[in-house]
């Protein structure tokens, strides 16, 4: 369905006027979402996918791929194809890894051949700080790559700090892939604690119990 | 030209036939005998006679005998090839608009009247004083004083022209506010004593007045009041390199230098970006601009030349550049533009000497998504909040770290029908009723904080994931829940753990509650309390500032970037050096906004 048929005129205008080569369009999907219904938002995603290019700004890429992950379950095969085409055109930077690979994970789009071998850096401690490799491996694991999942597990196992381990495990708990539950279960008795704002926070064991419960929820 | 005859008081000159007549009247004689008598009366002194003989020799009139010489000279005067001019009397000059008309040499002179007593003429000289700086530039507006001749002001050509003056010896000085005799020196006047200005000369004197170097008093953000005060710049950090001046804590004047050095005195030298020299840190995003000010201090009021004599140099020029610099009488307002990720130092230089500096942290601007939702349970009703107001507050703060917050309202999530959640939720409240997460009682509700909040988050997430209509939660977004218990809460807000993307606010929407949310969001970005004993804390604050944790907060002059002058006794989780830091617990919560250099670097950017 074309976005011009389902979006309010103001949103149509917003999309038409957006300069995807500029960071000024870096919050485009928030503005669309604030002024429209779901069918418009999904149609808008496909429309923007058709306009993504190698010159698109990184903040636009970050915003777009985040929207891909958000609306993944509502995308038609045609929309997914448009998104895949956009991925093959758009630039990649480690600074957008969270959403870039998040969109790929959520849609199951396989562009491993296109990506080739990306530089790896496992020195990160948190999944949101310099952790592009973490997100890349979450993507690979989501496609059934057992070695990738093992690398993720190894990273967690090598993390001694309870708070850092908590954040990595929490991130892993959002991955829909076979073998994740087993990794989480292996920490079911871990009494290391996260860092609360006033002293120690919850033990890893208690958090693992909650994450397993959330994963079991349809 | 001719030669004077007679002593110094004489008004007569021997002149060649074609010498100009201006200012002279021809002296006439009856015959040669009268001429000879006149010459003998006049040429008394030997030195005068010697000069006259020399002049006449050049005219072809010479004889070893004095008598014969005078006869030859008298004959030349009678023939008109030589004539005697009498300098006009001063009283005649200008009389009738033209004075006595000069008489041209007469080839057949007739006898004239005998000369009477004449007034003594004043000797004449000229004086011009030129004032330049040490680079050879002409200095306009300098005051030149030449003894009894008085004072004059130099024009655009740098000159004070005294015109005709009485020959003599003068002490000559030049001075101009904001200038001095040497670079960076204490001496103001340039002076030449005993300058000889001889009769008949045109004397030129050069003096130096070099623009002073201003003293850098402070670096600030522009003076803008109100919540938009950070609109013109990103981060401004006067605390990381704070000087150890007042009670070991603060510079009492708020000045950049402590104190501002006197004119010509030695100033601190640049050592490193982390020296406690008062140097500020400013942040700017790549491709964007930030506006800052340098305030200057002078010894004698306003000094535009002092600032004009100043240059701004970015070291690590690939990181940032000065885009514009607007100079006023006491300030230089300028914009710097971020060029690439990295750090740089902007040095203020004068005559090649560093007189001040600040440091620039440049980062790619990051946009972080933050979803906001309200959790409704039987113990926490729906609450009203403003996304726009919260967004403005958060962006006002995190802009300092070149982070833009993109807020989105998920609306309310009604979990009041969830019996299992209600059971867990009850653990957060005292058995007999009272505040949520109360820190006393048996059991202590606060001890169940993690369990209750994780349960609330899990249930809310499940509800959001199940949505098939807008608004949908955004993938990769941080999230803040408003959960406002009817009974109130012992704390303002919290985060599931440091670095967790999930945080809570427990108060109705007020400036204090919004600031609490900004603080908790900081925890989501891995920022820690200064009182946090974790090793990571050490990398998020300057070590000397951490040492002031819980110390007394002294008064300090307000800067443009902070709210008020503060005096208080020490309290927990407050830095004496930096009480309004966002990650502390200072009571003035709406104004608890600053983030500092180490926090800019430490904050998560994805």
- Give me the pLDDT at residue B561, please: 60
- Give me the pLDDT at residue B247, please: 42
pLDDT, greater one: B231 or B217: B217
Q: Distance between CA B197 and CA B124 in Å, rounded?
A: 10
Q: Do A128 and B471 touch (CB under 8 A)?
A: no
pTM of the model: 0.79
Average pLDDT, chain B: 84
Question: From B474, which residue of chain A is nearest by alpha-carbon distance?
Answer: A70
Average pLDDT, chain A: 96
pLDDT, greater one: B48 or A177: A177
**Taking CB atoms and an 8 Å cutoff, what residues of chain B touch A197?**
494-495, 498, 520, 523, 529
Q: Distance between CA B112 and CA B29 in Å, rounded?
A: 5
The residue of B457, B475, B489, B602 whose CB has the most chain A CBs within 10 angstroms, and thus the best one to mutate to test that interface, is: B475
- B11 contacts B121 by C-beta, under 8 angstroms: yes
How do residues A129-154 score in pLDDT, each as one tens digit? Answer: 999 999 999 999 999 999 999 999 99
pLDDT band at B266 (very low <50, low <70, confident <90, very high): low
- Give me the pLDDT at residue B245, please: 58
**Taking CB atoms and an 8 Å cutoff, what residues of chain A touch B501?**
128
> Which two three-digit tokens encode residue A81?
């194809």
Other beta carbons less than 10 A from residue A189's beta carbon: 10
Does the pLDDT of residue B540 top 80, yes or no?
yes
| CA dihedral of B42, B46, B49, B54, whole degrees rounded to 10 | -160
Backbone angles phi, psi at A69, to 5 degrees: -65, -40
The residue of A23, A159, A195 whose CB has the most chain B CBs within 10 angstroms, and thus the best one to mutate to test that interface, is: A195
Minimum distance, in Å, between the CA of residue A106 and any CA atom of chain B: 9
- Give me the pLDDT at residue B325, please: 78
pLDDT band at B159 (very low <50, low <70, confident <90, very high): very high
- Give me the pLDDT at residue B568, please: 77
Q: Distance between CA B189 and CA B208 in Å, rounded?
A: 8
Q: Is A123 on the interface with B (CB under 8 A)?
A: no
How do residues B468-499 score in pLDDT, each as one tens digit? Answer: 999 999 999 999 999 999 999 999 999 999 99
Q: Distance between CA B373 and CA B525 in Å, rounded?
A: 19
Q: Which of A69, A126, A167 sits opposite B475 (nearest CB)?
A: A69
Provide DSSP, B191-224.
Answer: EEEEEEE-TT-EEEEEEE-EEPPPEEEEEE----
**Surface of B (71-100) touching A: CB under 8 A:** none
pLDDT band at B257 (very low <50, low <70, confident <90, very high): low
Q: Distance between CA B523 and CA B418 in Å, rounded?
A: 29
Q: Is A186 on the interface with B (CB under 8 A)?
A: no
**Taking CB atoms and an 8 Å cutoff, what residues of chain A touch B408?**
30, 33-34
How do residues B20-71 score in pLDDT, each as one tens digit? Answer: 667 777 788 878 888 888 888 887 767 778 788 888 888 888 888 888 888 8
CA B524 vs CA A170, B54, B67, B395, B497: distances in Å: 13, 104, 119, 15, 8
How do residues B444-473 score in pLDDT, each as one tens digit? Answer: 999 999 999 999 999 999 999 999 999 999
- B408 contacts B371 by C-beta, under 8 angstroms: yes
The residue of B341, B367, B501 whose CB has the most chain A CBs within 10 angstroms, and thus the best one to mutate to test that interface, is: B367
Q: Do A202 and B451 touch (CB under 8 A)?
A: yes
- Give me the pLDDT at residue B299, please: 63
Is omega for the bond preceding B108 within 30 degrees of 0, making it cis?
no
- Give me the pLDDT at residue B92, please: 38
Give the bridge partners for B210, in sequence order.
B180
Pure H helices in B478-542: 511-524
Q: Do A34 and B408 touch (CB under 8 A)?
A: yes
**Mean pLDDT on A64-70:** 98
The residue of B474, B535, B539, B582 whose CB has the most chain A CBs within 10 angstroms, and thus the best one to mutate to test that interface, is: B474
**Mean pLDDT on B401-412:** 96
- Give me the pLDDT at residue B232, please: 66
Is residue A154 classed exposed, middle or buried when 0-12, 13-18 and 19+ CB atoms within 10 A define those classes?
Answer: exposed
- Give me the pLDDT at residue B226, please: 47
Q: Is B584 on the interface with A (CB under 8 A)?
A: no
Does the pLDDT of residue B241 top 50, yes or no?
yes
- Give me the pLDDT at residue B227, please: 43
Q: Do B476 and A69 touch (CB under 8 A)?
A: yes
Q: Do B498 and A194 touch (CB under 8 A)?
A: yes
Does the pLDDT of residue B128 top 80, yes or no?
yes
Give the best-scoring range by mean pLDDT among A120-124, B30-34, B229-233, B319-323.
A120-124
Q: Distance between CA B579 and CA B249 in Å, rounded?
A: 12
Backbone angles phi, psi at A131, to 5 degrees: -110, 40
Q: Is A196 on the interface with B (CB under 8 A)?
A: yes
- Over the range B364-379, which residues count as b (16 or more CB within 10 Å of their CB) and which as e? bbbbbbbbbbbbbbeb
- Give me the pLDDT at residue A115, please: 96
Q: What angle do CA B531, B535, B539 make, to 5 degrees?
A: 85
Does the pLDDT of residue B93 top 50, yes or no?
no
- B592 contacts B602 by C-beta, under 8 angstroms: no
**Taking CB atoms and an 8 Å cutoff, what residues of chain A touch B365?**
23, 59
Minimum distance, in Å, between the CA of residue B475 and any CA atom of chain A: 5
Give the bridge partners for B362, in sequence order.
B284, B342
Minimum distance, in Å, between the CA of residue B238 and any CA atom of chain A: 26
A76: nearest Cα among A1, A135, A183, A23 = A1
Pure H helices in B303-413: 304-308, 387-398
pLDDT band at B11 (very low <50, low <70, confident <90, very high): confident
Minimum distance, in Å, between the CA of residue B345 and any CA atom of chain A: 25
**Mean pLDDT on B290-318:** 80
**Surface of A (132-161) touching B: CB under 8 A:** none
B562: nearest Cα among B281, B217, B220, B216 = B220
- A36 contacts B470 by C-beta, under 8 angstroms: yes
Q: Which of B367, B450, B473 sits opposite A26 (nearest CB)?
A: B367
Q: Distance between CA B66 and CA B72 in Å, rounded?
A: 10
- Give me the pLDDT at residue B269, please: 80
B158: nearest Cα among B227, B209, B99, B232 = B209
**Taking CB atoms and an 8 Å cutoff, what residues of chain B touch A102?**
475-476
Q: Is A173 on the interface with B (CB under 8 A)?
A: no
Other beta carbons less than 10 A from residue B108's beta carbon: 7
Q: Do B606 and A96 touch (CB under 8 A)?
A: yes
Q: Distance between CA B350 and CA B356 in Å, rounded?
A: 10
Q: What is the DSSP letter of B121?
A: P
- Give me the pLDDT at residue A204, please: 97
Q: Which strands sit side by side in the sheet containing B331-338, from one edge to the other?
A: B215-220, B289-297, B331-338, B320-327
- Give me the pLDDT at residue B94, please: 35
Does the pLDDT of residue B246 top 50, yes or no?
no
Residues sharing a CB contact under 8 Å with residue B392, sequence separation 6 or more, in sequence order: B227
- Give me the pLDDT at residue B262, please: 67
**Taking CB atoms and an 8 Å cutoff, what residues of chain A touch B534?**
163, 195
Would you give the distance in Å from CA A43 to the centre of its chain? 20
| CA dihedral of B477, B586, B590, B540, whole degrees rounded to 10 | -40
Q: Do B449 and A207 touch (CB under 8 A)?
A: no
Nearest-Å Rg of the Cα atoms of chain A is: 19
- Over the range B197-235, which residues count as b (16 or more CB within 10 Å of their CB) and which as e? beeeeebebebbbbbbbbbbbbbbbeeeeeeebbebbbb
CA B596 vs CA B235, B286, B518, B600: distances in Å: 7, 18, 15, 6
pLDDT, greater one: B496 or B118: B496
Q: Distance between CA A60 and CA A27 in Å, rounded?
A: 7
Does the pLDDT of residue B401 top 90, yes or no?
yes
Longest dimension (CA), chain A: 55
Name the packing angle between helices A132-142 and A97-107 (round to 10°): 10
B396: nearest Cα among B564, B579, B229, B596 = B229
Q: What is the ipTM of this complex?
A: 0.96
Q: Distance between CA A163 and CA A209 in Å, rounded?
A: 16
> Which two three-digit tokens encode residue A171?
């991130």
Q: Do B476 and A98 touch (CB under 8 A)?
A: yes
Does the pLDDT of residue A119 top 70, yes or no?
yes
- Give me the pLDDT at residue B350, please: 84
How do residues A178-200 score in pLDDT, each as one tens digit? Answer: 999 999 999 999 999 999 988 88
Does the pLDDT of residue B300 top 80, yes or no?
no
pLDDT, greater one: A34 or B224: A34
Nearest-Å Rg of the Cα atoms of chain B is: 44
- Tell me the percentage of chain B whose pLDDT exceeds 90: 49
Q: Distance between CA B84 and CA B157 in Å, rounded?
A: 42
Among A61-65, B211-215, B221-225, B419-423, which is the least confidently predicted range?
Answer: B221-225
- B594 contacts B400 by C-beta, under 8 angstroms: yes
**Taking CB atoms and an 8 Å cutoff, what residues of chain A touch B468?**
38
How do residues A31-60 score in pLDDT, each as one tens digit? Answer: 999 999 999 999 999 999 999 999 999 999
pLDDT band at B296 (very low <50, low <70, confident <90, very high): confident
> Which two three-digit tokens encode residue B454?
């994780």
**Surface of A (42-61) touching B: CB under 8 A:** 58-59
- A107 contacts A83 by C-beta, under 8 angstroms: yes
How do residues B320-364 score in pLDDT, each as one tens digit? Answer: 999 887 777 777 778 899 999 999 999 988 887 888 889 999 999
């Amino acid at each position: 369905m074309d976005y011009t048929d389902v979006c309010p005129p103001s949103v149509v205008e917003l999309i038409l006027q957006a300069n995807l080569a500029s960071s000024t369009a870096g919050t485009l999907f928030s503005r669309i979402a604030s002024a429209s219904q779901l069918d418009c938002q999904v149609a808008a995603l496909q429309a923007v996918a058709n306009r993504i290019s190698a010159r698109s700004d990184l903040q636009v890429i970050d915003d777009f791929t985040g929207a891909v992950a958000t609306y993944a379950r509502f995308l038609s095969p045609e929309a997914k194809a448009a998104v895949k085409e956009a991925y093959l055109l758009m630039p990649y930077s480690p600074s957008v890894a969270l959403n870039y690979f998040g969109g790929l994970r959520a849609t199951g789009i396989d562009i491993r051949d296109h990506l080739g071998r990306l530089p790896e850096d496992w020195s990160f401690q948190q999944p949101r700080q310099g952790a592009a490799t973490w997100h890349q491996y979450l993507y690979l694991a989501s496609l059934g790559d057992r070695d990738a999942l093992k690398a993720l597990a190894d990273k967690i196992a090598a993390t001694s700090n309870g708070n850092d381990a908590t954040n990595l495990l929490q991130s892993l708990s959002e991955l829909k892939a076979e073998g994740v539950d087993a990794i989480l279960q292996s920490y079911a008795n871990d009494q290391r604690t996260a860092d609360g704002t006033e002293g120690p926070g919850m033990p890893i064991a208690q958090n693992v119990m909650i994450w397993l419960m959330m994963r079991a929820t349809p | 030209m001719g030669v004077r005859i007679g002593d110094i008081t004489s008004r007569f000159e021997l002149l060649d036939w074609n010498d100009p007549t201006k200012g002279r009247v021809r002296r006439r004689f009856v015959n040669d005998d009268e001429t000879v008598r006149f010459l003998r009366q006049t040429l008394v002194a030997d030195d005068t006679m010697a000069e006259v003989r020399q002049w006449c020799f050049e005219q072809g009139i010479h004889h070893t005998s004095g008598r014969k010489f005078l006869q030859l000279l008298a004959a030349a005067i009678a023939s008109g090839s030589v004539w005697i001019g009498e300098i006009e009397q001063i009283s005649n000059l200008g009389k009738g608009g033209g004075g006595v008309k000069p008489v041209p040499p007469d080839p057949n002179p007739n006898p004239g009247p005998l000369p009477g007593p004449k007034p003594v003429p004043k000797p004449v000289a000229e004086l011009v004083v030129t004032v330049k700086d040490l680079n050879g530039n002409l200095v306009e507006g300098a005051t030149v004083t030449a003894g009894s001749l008085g004072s004059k002001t130099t024009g655009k050509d740098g000159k004070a022209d005294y015109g005709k003056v009485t020959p003599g010896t003068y002490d000559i000085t030049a001075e101009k506010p904001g200038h001095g005799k040497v670079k960076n020196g204490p001496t103001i006047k340039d002076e030449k004593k005993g300058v000889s200005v001889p009769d008949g000369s045109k004397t030129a004197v050069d003096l130096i007045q070099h623009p002073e170097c201003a003293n850098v008093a402070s670096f600030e953000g522009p003076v803008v009041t109100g919540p938009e005060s950070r609109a013109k710049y990103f981060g401004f950090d006067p605390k990381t390199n704070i000087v150890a001046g007042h009670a070991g804590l603060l510079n009492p004047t708020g000045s950049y230098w402590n104190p501002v050095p006197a004119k010509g005195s030695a100033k601190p030298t640049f050592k490193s970006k982390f020296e406690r020299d008062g140097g500020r840190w400013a942040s700017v995003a790549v491709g964007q601009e930030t506006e800052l000010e340098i305030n200057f201090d002078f010894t004698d009021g306003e000094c535009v030349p002092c600032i004009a004599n100043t240059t701004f140099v970015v070291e690590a020029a690939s990181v940032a550049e000065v885009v514009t610099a607007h100079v006023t009488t006491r300030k230089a307002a300028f914009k710097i533009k971020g060029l690439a990720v990295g750090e740089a130092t902007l040095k203020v230089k004068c005559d090649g000497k560093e007189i001040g500096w600040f440091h620039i942290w440049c980062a790619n601007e990051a946009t972080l998504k933050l979803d906001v939702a309200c959790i409704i349970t039987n113990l926490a009703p729906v609450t009203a909040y403003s996304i726009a107001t919260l967004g403005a507050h958060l962006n006002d703060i995190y802009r300092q770290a070149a982070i833009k917050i993109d807020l989105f309202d998920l609306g309310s999530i009604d979990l009041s029908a969830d019996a299992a959640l209600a059971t867990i939720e009850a653990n957060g409240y005292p058995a007999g009723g009272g505040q949520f997460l109360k820190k006393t009682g048996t059991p202590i509700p606060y001890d169940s904080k993690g369990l209750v909040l994780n349960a609330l988050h899990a249930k809310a997430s499940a509800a959001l994931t199940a949505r098939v209509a807008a608004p949908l939660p955004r993938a990769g977004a941080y999230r803040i829940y408003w959960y406002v218990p009817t009974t109130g809460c012992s704390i303002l807000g919290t985060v599931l753990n440091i670095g967790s993307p999930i945080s809570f606010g427990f108060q109705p929407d007020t400036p204090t509650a919004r600031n609490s949310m900004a603080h908790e969001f900081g925890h989501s970005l891995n920022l820690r309390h200064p009182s946090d004993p974790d090793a990571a804390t050490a990398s998020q604050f300057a070590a000397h500032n951490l040492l002031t944790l819980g110390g007394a907060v002294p008064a300090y002059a307000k800067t443009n970037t902070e709210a008020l002058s503060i005096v208080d006794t020490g309290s927990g989780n407050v830095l004496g050096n930096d009480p309004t830091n966002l990650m502390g617990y200072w009571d003035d919560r709406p104004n608890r906004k600053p983030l500092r250099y180490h926090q800019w670097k430490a904050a998560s950017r994805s």
